[in-house]
A and B are shown apart, each in its own frame.
Chain A
Amino acid sequence: MTAAVTTSRAEGGRLPALKALWRQTGFAPLLFVILLVINIAINPARFAPGAWGTLIGLAAPLIGAAIASAPAILGGRGGIDISVGPIMGFVNAIVVLVLVQKLGLTSPFVVVGSAILIGAAVGALNGFLATILRIQPIVATLGTYLLLVGTTLTILPAPTGTVPVWLKALGGPLSILPLGAVFLAWFLIRRLPYYDHLMAVGSDDRAAYTAGIPVTLVRFLSYVITGVFAGVAGLMMTALIGSADPAIGPTYTLIAISAVALGGVSLAGGRGGLVGAAIGAIDIFLLQSALTFFNFSTFVLQIAYGAILVIAIVLTALQDRWLGRAREGR
């Protein structure tokens, strides 16, 4: 399995780079192009180059949530973090309610620092539960999910508050900054041996273990990375909504996991990347955008969203088969 990882990276030379992307992200990029063309055709004003900044701001929290969900899933053996949405909601509540409103701390260093710290702490808790205590990840993070949603609702029963000007600005075109920071962080992680270890563990943890890779530590860190990214995503969400709202965060969990799957990340681990997850998230955003324009009800939106998700993953599976790279197991 480790060999498979290295070959697929080696193939990413010049022309095969496109092929590698196709293999890694499935139909998400194709869907992206189609949806973008449709959106531009039906609503030129909203999708004019001048408005792209606003669009990125609108899509940023979803992209952030999708990126955050990916590392834990890449670690394999049922690895998943369903508490990503609640982490975002919790960060939102702490930043607006505690830091800004109660303590009057509006400095970017304090706010960004605490968002990252909260994310890292929850991620470490998830990692401890899922890898050291070895509770099945979906149950472990379900525990964290309920804990965070409950705590958030207790300290913040109803939407309230405002955010500092600099943070509000990050909800617009400048949302490219936190997104860029996350991608830069992931780019750096990919340069580390850790990345190869993560993919090896995700592909076949038993082989990785016999090869001397510290499987538990690698998986633990994947949850911490997921937590940190989720903290940043929470900040992006705060910037976009400009207040504290306990209801919005948790809704990101399932949609983020859908985006990850749409982006060609295997839920069995060891396959896919954060770029795919981001493209998957943009696909979902574009889909929502196109359907809202036609003034379809949210019900149609839901059907279309479910249908596209199923069709896209089915096509990706068929494509795998045609390429003769049928995945082992699930």
Chain B
Amino acid sequence: MLRLGSDQSRVLGALLVAVLLHLAGTALIEGYSSAFSMRAMLVLASLLAIASIGQTLVVIIGGIDLSIPFVIGFANVVTAQLYGGGMDFWLVCGIVLALAAAIGGLNGLISSGLGLHPLIVTLGIGTIVQGSVLLWTGGFPSGSAPASVTEFVSIGGSVGPVPVPWLVPCFVALAAIVTVALARTPYGRRLFALGSNPRAAPLALINPVAMWTATFAISAVFAAVTGILLLGFTGSAYGEVGQPYLFQTIAAVVIGGTALVGGRGSYLGTVAGALVLTEINTLLIGLGLQPSLVQAVLGIVIVVLVSFYGRDAHVRTTI
């Protein structure tokens, strides 16, 4: 069995899989590498990767965030509703992101302050958020995104002569910022320290509750950003728009080599994971599989990929 040691090789492994999948797609399906299909894949992968920023950070600290799809839906619907009501778009963004930060902060505060499992806390809070949004709109959200957002994420958009929408270069810059923040800032150092040893970190004067609160807040903010971008992408508000992201963010993180036990991982790996997932999806749909079969094959592929380089240590090696 192939077992690569360092984080870099895990990232490279995931990238290699993405490239191989792309070559396979190009060989099997006509037009797979066409400009349009490449652009579509880049946009979809960017959206998934942005939604997965928070999941990566939260997993490195040793938690998990199931509230991401609910926050995406929340941001999607609330933005449409407020903007449709005539409010200034940037004010709307400010309100939505601030509320998201509060929701995420609450997730982290309850989880770490009381020592509760974040899985159940984020699920509970997420359910409350979704219910509140549905109640507010009566289940039928209205409104839409400003044209600028639609253009920002549109598959047909272009940056000067380069035929990709602004989302893609902006995302590349964002990915660089996240990577540098993880590797070079005190926040990133503390994140890894707390994730790899939750008991030793407080002795190094790292405040676990503050770190968890901040990290979950960041997670929710990026989920909200995804929700706003998705509003531009799909054109109209839909409360369930985030649902596919529940498991996809976790899958992207794990395929990228970040360990769910915490303390190890990288955002570049997650980006590679998002690319892999997008490639698989496009490939399978291109091969003419039913969506239900695509789902079944995706399940197998995730397990096979993770079994190559995402395996846990045996208990005997942890003593």
- Enumerate chain A residues within 8 angstroms of B116, measured Cβ to Cβ: 313-314, 317, 330
Is the CB of B126 closer than 8 A to any CB of chain A?
Answer: yes
Set B120, B302, B319: member contacting A143, Cβ < 8 A: B302
- Enumerate chain A residues within 8 angstroms of B123, measured Cβ to Cβ: 254, 257-258, 306, 309
Closest to B121 in A: A310
Min Cβ gap A73→B in Å is 10
Is the CB of B207 closer than 8 A to any CB of chain A?
Answer: no
Is the beta-carbon distance between B296 and A151 smaller than 8 angstroms?
Answer: yes
Is the beta-carbon distance between B115 and A139 smaller than 8 angstroms?
Answer: no
State whether A310 and B300 are in contact (beta carbons under 8 Å apart), knowing that A135-B310, A136-B254, A317-B116 are contacts in the complex.
no
User: Restricting to B264-319, which residues have a CB under 8 Å from any CB of A?
Assistant: 290-300, 302-303, 306-307, 310-316, 318-319
Is the CB of B114 closer than 8 A to any CB of chain A?
Answer: yes
Is the CB of A307 closer than 8 A to any CB of chain B?
Answer: yes
Min Cβ gap B34→A in Å is 28
Q: How many A-B residue pairs have CB under 8 A?
A: 176
Q: What 1/0 mask marks residues of chain B from 52 to 84 whose CB sits below 8 Å from any chain A CB?
A: 000000000010100000000000000000000
Closest to B111 in A: A330
Please classify the interface of chain A as helix (H, G, I), strand (E, B), loop, or mixed, using the class held by over half of its residues: helix
Q: How far is the CA of A329 from the CA of B314 in the complex (A)?
A: 20
Q: How far is the CA of A209 from the CA of B296 in the complex (A)?
A: 35
Min Cβ gap B222→A in Å is 21
- Enumerate chain A residues within 8 angstroms of B129, measured Cβ to Cβ: 306
User: Restricting to B72-120, which residues have a CB under 8 Å from any CB of A?
Assistant: 110, 114-117, 119-120
Min Cβ gap B106→A in Å is 9
- Enumerate chain B residues within 8 angstroms of A140, measured Cβ to Cβ: 303, 306
State whether A303 and B299 are in contact (beta carbons under 8 Å apart), knowing that A133-B311, A313-B124 are contacts in the complex.
no
Is the CB of B259 closer than 8 A to any CB of chain A?
Answer: yes
Is the beta-carbon distance between A306 and B260 smaller than 8 angstroms?
Answer: no
Is the CB of B139 closer than 8 A to any CB of chain A?
Answer: yes
Q: What 1/0 mask marks residues of chain A from 297 to 319 whose CB sits below 8 Å from any chain B CB?
A: 11111111111011001100110
Is the CB of B183 closer than 8 A to any CB of chain A?
Answer: no
Set A136, A147, A305: member contacting B300, Cβ < 8 A: A147
Is the CB of B127 closer than 8 A to any CB of chain A?
Answer: yes
User: Restricting to A111-161, which residues have a CB under 8 Å from any CB of B?
Assistant: 129, 133-136, 138-140, 142-154, 157
Closest to A201 in B: B315
Is the CB of A205 closer than 8 A to any CB of chain B?
Answer: yes
Is the beta-carbon distance between A299 and B310 smaller than 8 angstroms?
Answer: no
Q: How far is the CA of A297 from the CA of B295 in the complex (A)?
A: 32
Is the beta-carbon distance between A318 and B300 smaller than 8 angstroms?
Answer: no
State whether A135 and B311 are in contact (beta carbons under 8 Å apart), knowing that A147-B300, A206-B319, A310-B121 are contacts in the complex.
yes
User: Restricting to B222-275, which residues have a CB under 8 Å from any CB of A?
Assistant: 247, 250-251, 254, 259-261
Please classify the interface of chain B as helix (H, G, I), strand (E, B), loop, or mixed, using the class held by over half of its residues: helix
Q: What 1/0 mask marks residues of chain A from 259 to 270 whose CB sits below 8 Å from any chain B CB?
A: 001000011100
Is the beta-carbon distance between A302 and B131 smaller than 8 angstroms?
Answer: yes
Is the beta-carbon distance between A297 and B124 smaller than 8 angstroms?
Answer: no
Most buried by A among B62, B306, B318: B306
Closest to A82 in B: B247
Closest to A134 in B: B312
User: Restricting to B110-148, which residues have a CB under 8 Å from any CB of A?
Assistant: 110, 114-117, 119-121, 123-132, 134-135, 139
Q: How far is the CA of A181 from the CA of B199 in the complex (A)?
A: 43
Q: How far is the CA of A215 from the CA of B260 in the complex (A)?
A: 20
Is the beta-carbon distance between A317 and B114 smaller than 8 angstroms?
Answer: yes
- Enumerate chain A residues within 8 angstroms of B302, measured Cβ to Cβ: 139, 142-143, 146
State whether A329 and B131 are in contact (beta carbons under 8 Å apart), knowing that A139-B306, A317-B114 are contacts in the complex.
no
Is the beta-carbon distance between B126 and A150 smaller than 8 angstroms?
Answer: no
Is the beta-carbon distance between A150 and B311 smaller than 8 angstroms?
Answer: no
Min Cβ gap A195→B in Å is 19
Min Cβ gap B27→A in Å is 25
Q: How far is the CA of A173 from the CA of B26 in the complex (A)?
A: 58
Is the beta-carbon distance between A305 and B260 smaller than 8 angstroms?
Answer: no
User: Restricting to A219-269, which residues have a CB under 8 Å from any CB of B?
Assistant: 254, 257-258, 261, 266-268
Q: How far is the CA of A318 from the CA of B115 in the complex (A)?
A: 10
Is the beta-carbon distance between B306 and A135 smaller than 8 angstroms?
Answer: yes
Subset of 5 A-B contacts with CB under 8 Å: A135-B307, A143-B300, A254-B123, A297-B134, A310-B128
14 more A-B residue pairs beyond the given contacts A136-B259, A136-B261, A258-B124, with a C-beta to C-beta distance below 8 A: A78-B260, A134-B312, A136-B306, A139-B303, A140-B306, A142-B250, A146-B302, A153-B290, A154-B293, A209-B316, A267-B119, A304-B131, A313-B124, A330-B62
The 8 closest A-B pairs by CB, nearest first: A150-B296, A146-B299, A306-B127, A302-B131, A153-B292, A143-B303, A303-B131, A150-B295
